[in-house]
Amino acid sequence: MTLDTAADLLKLLADTTTEPRPDPQLEALTLAVAADLPVLLWGEPGIGKTAALNQLADSLDLPLTTVIASVHEPTDFSGLPVIGADPAVHGVPMAPPDWAVRLATAGRGLLFLDELSTAPPAVQAALLRLVLERRVGALTLPPGVRIVAAANPRGSAADGWELSAPLANRFVHLQWIYQHEVVVRGLGGTWPRATLPRLDPDGLPGAVAFARRAVCELLTARPKLVHQLPQSETKRGGAWPSPRTWDMAVRLIAFGTAAGTSREVLSMLVRGVVGDGPGLELLAVLDRMDLPDPEVLLADPAAAVLPERGDLRQVVLEGVVEAVRGNADRERWEAAWRLLVRALDDGAPDLVVVPASELAGLRRDDWPLPSGIERLAGALNVARRAASA
C-alpha cells in the first residue's frame, strides 16, 4: 500500500454530506452565533463539540480559526509589547498574534477557543477583553467575527480549572450532549446542517418590544434576580443572572421571537445566560405574555383559539372570568359561557370547574340561563360538592 492509496481512502472517509434535520442544540448554537453573543459549549471529551464547530463554520461559510486556550500565555491574548523608535512619544503598542491579524484581515470568521476549562486563571483573565470587547492587544476584531468556546467539566478536564466568574458571565452556556440518532447517521456519512435563522423583517420592532417587556416585567416583580452571584465556585463558572446576562437574554429572546424558534431552543438559551431558576421564571413570563387577550376572546367566542397546555388554558379562562367581573353585562357573561363550553369540547373537563363556578356567581337575577349551560352542569356540581366539603 502506498501513501497515495492511503490518501485516497482517507479522502473517501472524509467525504460526508449534510441534511436539514431538527437539532435543538445546534439550532440554539446557531441562533446565539447569529445574535453575536459568545457561546461556551460544555460537554464530556469526545462527544463532538469540535466537529460541530467545524460543521457550523462550513455551513455558514465562515473561515474557522482554532486557538487552544490552555497552551497559550496571557500575552497571546493581551498582546506583546513592541518598542518603537521613540516610546516616550508614541508609547509601546501591544502587538496582536498572527491568528488575530488573519481574522481582522479576512473581516469575518469563527474564532474557536478550545479547552477553555484547562486554561489557568492568568490566561482566563487575559481572555476577558477578547470575549467581551473583541480586543486582542491593539487590534479590534471586526463585527463579522463570532466567538465560540468549548470546555470539559472540571472532573473530565486534564488539569482542569473552574471558570472564573467574570469570564463565565460573558458567555451563553450550552450543555452539549450527543444524540444517538445523529451520531449513527453521521457515521454513516450524513450530518445535520446548521443554517442561520430566518428573521421576519416586519416583526423586528415587535420582537424587541416583546423581549424587553418580558425581562422588565420579571425584574420589576423579582428585583433580587437582577444580580445573584452564586456562593459556590463551581456555580460561578456557569450561567448566573447579572445586568450583563439579562441584556443578553433580551437579545436572545428578540432573535428567537423574530425567527419563530421553538420554546425548547429558547429555554436552552435563556437558561444558558441567567441560570436555570431565573431562566424558568422568565420562560413562565413569556408563556403568560403569549396568552390571548380576554377581551378578544369575549368579542368572538366562536373563533377563539385556546392554549393546548392545561395550565395556560386555565390561566386564560380565569382571565376571561376576571374580565367579565370587571365589566359585567349580560352579553359579556353569555360570551364567557360560550368560551367555557368551547374549552369543555376540546380540553380536560376539570379545567373549567373553577372558572364555571366563579362565572355562575356573577349572574344577576334577571339574566336567564345561557344556552349550552347544561353541558357544564357536571363541572358546576363538582364545584358545589368541593365547596361544601
- For the segment 6-35, the average pLDDT, to the nearest whole number, is 89
Q: What's the Cα-to-Cα distance from 174 to each of 46, 49, 121, 164, 274, rounded to whole Å? A: 16, 11, 22, 17, 12
Tell me how many degrees the CA angle 98-87-126 measures, rounded to the nearest 5: 40
Q: Is 345 exposed, middle or buried (0-12, 13-18, 19+ CB in 10 A)?
A: exposed
Give dist(CA 170, CA 291) in Å, integer: 32
Residue 92 pLDDT > 70: no
pTM of the predicted model, to two decimals? Answer: 0.79
41 contacts 49 by C-beta, under 8 angstroms: yes
Q: Give the residue, 344 or 377, on which the prediction is more confident.
A: 344
Tell me how many degrees the CA angle 322-326-332 measures, rounded to the nearest 5: 80
DSSP category for residue 193: P
Q: What amino acid occupies position 12?
A: L
116 contacts 130 by C-beta, under 8 angstroms: no
Q: What share of the chain in percent tops pLDDT 70?
A: 90
The per-residue pLDDT for 39 is: 96
The per-residue pLDDT for 377 is: 65
Give dist(CA 158, CA 177) in Å, integer: 19
Tell me how many degrees the CA angle 105-14-49 measures, rounded to the nearest 5: 65
Helix (H, G, I), strand (E, B) or coil at 237: coil
pLDDT band at 352 (very low <50, low <70, confident <90, very high): confident
The per-residue pLDDT for 109 is: 94
pLDDT band at 87 (very low <50, low <70, confident <90, very high): low
Q: Which three cell numbers stand for residue 19?
A: 441534511
Give dist(CA 367, CA 351) in Å, integer: 25
pLDDT, one tens digit per residue, over 207-259 is 999 999 999 989 988 999 999 999 988 899 999 999 999 999 999 999 999 99
Helix (H, G, I), strand (E, B) or coil at 308: coil
Give dist(CA 238, CA 233) in Å, integer: 9
Q: Give the residue, 389 or 229, on which the prediction is more confident.
A: 229
Q: What share of the chain in percent tops pLDDT 90?
A: 33
Q: Which three cell numbers stand for residue 307?
A: 392554549
Q: What's the Cα-to-Cα distance from 212 to each of 39, 247, 268, 291, 301, rounded to whole Å? A: 22, 9, 19, 17, 31
Of 79, 82, 22, 30, whose CA–CA distance to 56 is shortest? 30
Give dist(CA 262, CA 355) in Å, integer: 30
